[in-house]
Amino acid sequence: MFEKVLIANRGEIAVRVVRACRSLGVRTVAVHSDADARALHVRLADEAVRLGPPPSKDSYLRQDRILEAAAETGAEAIHPGYGFLSENADFARAVRDAGLKWIGPSPEAMEKMGDKVNARANAVAAGVPVAPGTKALRDAEEAAEQAAEIGYPVMLKASAGGGGIGMRIVRSAKDIKAEFESATRQAESAFGVPDVFMEKFIQRPRHIEVQVLGDEHGNVVHLYERECSVQRRHQKLVEEAPSPGLSQEEREAIGLKAVALAKHVGYSNAGTLEFLYEDGFFYFNEMNTRLQVEHPVTELVTGIDLVQWQIRVAAGQKLTFVQDDIKLRGHAFECRINAEDPFDDFRPSPGPVRRLRLPRGEGVRTDAGLYEGWTVPAVYDSMVLKLITTAPDRERDLARMQEALRGLELEGLTTNQTFHEALFAEPHFRAGDLSTRFLEEHDVLRPLRQSTDEAARRRAAALVAALKDRPGGGLAGVHLAQHLPARVRRSAGARDWRDA
């Protein structure tokens, strides 16, 4: 086992890795930007090294500084978490070339599966079903030809993409040229690679992903699937395991397909294969060659600590279990609590944490990177904590998550907690009737929005009444209104608070 691991990340995932290392008796090195000098992962780690100014390009993406930090502190391995450099094969190779261990798949496996076109080719070779599609397209003319052959609607995707960036749905021939050019520009800007390919657009699929885990001795298992269909602009909001939409036969079949593909590319460590599922058919979508945000739900229903096993595998240990040993135990949900205002188009709302009370109790887990007095920076991802629950079955887990959401107290910044509360009360969600279009088809915030708007109107009227007879009251109202949420100002029914 390693003696010291450097964690090349921040926030809740860095905290999660610190705790996994501690449970294995491994010392940790945190790295941080100036914005994170007082962050929780810095406070918990055994050592900490400054990387640079707040922007990621000057800190968490500085490969040279991270390698220098590992050398300065005597770290033997680097855990990349997720995001930032976690799927950068060049960095993984640089870590290896520096004589350190990369806690993740080999750079060769990452290259085989990180590029979506290569991943499709490997899936086909391993006998894993894919949607009808193409290789990287040369130009808009080829895109038009291929779209006509596949049949509209089609989906354009960035070959090196992720998180929905560079994706375009094209529904007719008249739009293909403009959408192709837009997708290539965005791919070039986001990933430095303009390559775009095309797939048949699956109209109302479930997003099903299979967790795999392999060691460096050729052993690979799957840890069953997660349902990640509730998304906004291709960003996941809620995950659960197992999926309420699969039969046991389908569950086992897609798990074996995932293992076959992982073995085909020589994959070790943790990884996730994503599929689109519709009308009984699975289509391979992509592989995430890293730990996923939603890994806790898999841990809770299998009893296997994925982060500990990432570290153990990287240290050369063999898996101590085989596929038949892995059994599903109950159900688990995860809610991503983001610093966003769901009533203002989910606009990011970072700020100070004035009060924090995390829910406790049987079957409740929180993975967080914040504490009272900490100010959530505006320069990074908006997720501030993950609320995870488990229960013997989905129905009881729905109730447990609702109770946990009610018990979460996070004041000082606006979060999407109210969205999750509304979602877990929504009848279609409770019934498990899910697809990636769920939030397009169901306005889960509508009941809350109506009641909130009415309450805001009452508060606005009371404010105006209280101020109108005071000297300078109108001006005071304008000043106070500037500090109210936009949704409250809008719901007052006035274009301008001077009018009110």
* CB 158 within 8 Å of CB 193: yes
Cα 394 to Cα 370: distance, rounded to the nearest angstrom = 29
- Comparing CA positions, the residue from 136, 232, 135 lying closest to residue 438 is 232
**How are strands ordered across the β-sheet holding 220-227?**
281-288, 269-278, 206-214, 220-227, 238-241, 331-338, 383-391, 364-368
Structure tokens at 299: 């841990």
pLDDT at 489: 47
pLDDT at 455: 64
Q: For tokens 């509360």, name the residue.
A: 421
Give me the helices (H) in 352-408, please: 394-407
**How are strands ordered across the β-sheet holding 101-102?**
47-52, 27-33, 4-7, 77-79, 101-102
Cα 303 to Cα 291: distance, rounded to the nearest angstrom = 17
For 1-91, strand residue ranges (E) read 4-7, 27-33, 47-52, 77-79
- Cβ partners under 8 Å of residue 175, min gap 6: none
Measure the CA dihedral 78/84/86/89, to 10°: -100
- Comparing CA positions, the residue from 95, 80, 101 lying closest to residue 4 is 101
Cα 67 to Cα 167: distance, rounded to the nearest angstrom = 33
- Average pLDDT of each block of 10 consecutive residues along the chain (500 residues)? 98 98 98 98 98 97 98 98 95 98 97 89 94 92 95 91 79 95 89 90 95 98 98 94 97 97 97 95 94 98 98 98 97 97 91 95 96 95 96 98 97 94 96 96 86 64 61 49 50 42
Cα 90 to Cα 67: distance, rounded to the nearest angstrom = 13
pLDDT at 465: 62
DSSP 226: E
Structure tokens at 386: 């993950």
**Check: CATH 3.40.50.300 for 206-446?**
no
Cα angle 372-378-379, degrees, rounded to a multiple of 5: 125
Cα 56 to Cα 307: distance, rounded to the nearest angstrom = 24
Q: Which long-range contacts (CB under 8 A, 24 or more apart) does 54-58 make?
A: 54/377, 54/379, 55/379, 56/84, 56/379, 56/380, 58/33
- Comparing CA positions, the residue from 430, 422, 395 lying closest to residue 406 is 422
Superfamily of domain 132-200: ATP-grasp fold, A domain (3.30.1490.20)
Structure tokens at 166: 């560079």
pLDDT at 52: 97
Q: What residues act catalytically?
A: 290
Per-residue b/e over 410-423, b at no fewer than 16 CB within 10 Å? bebbbbbbbbbbbb
Cα 190 to Cα 212: distance, rounded to the nearest angstrom = 28
Structure tokens at 404: 């946990």
How far is residue 292 from each of residues 104, 124, 211, 226, 318, measured CA to CA in Å?
12, 24, 9, 11, 22
Instruction: Bin 71: left if φ > 0, else alpha if -120 < ψ < 50, else beta.
Output: alpha
Q: Residue 387 forms beta bridges with which residues?
A: 335, 366
pTM: 0.86
* CB 196 within 8 Å of CB 166: yes
pLDDT at 192: 83
pLDDT at 191: 82
Q: Which CATH architecture has domain 4-103?
A: 3-Layer(aba) Sandwich (3.40)
List the chain domain ranges.
Answer: 4-103, 132-200, 206-446, 453-491
- CA 206, distance to chain mean position in Å, is 16
Cα 39 to Cα 34: distance, rounded to the nearest angstrom = 10
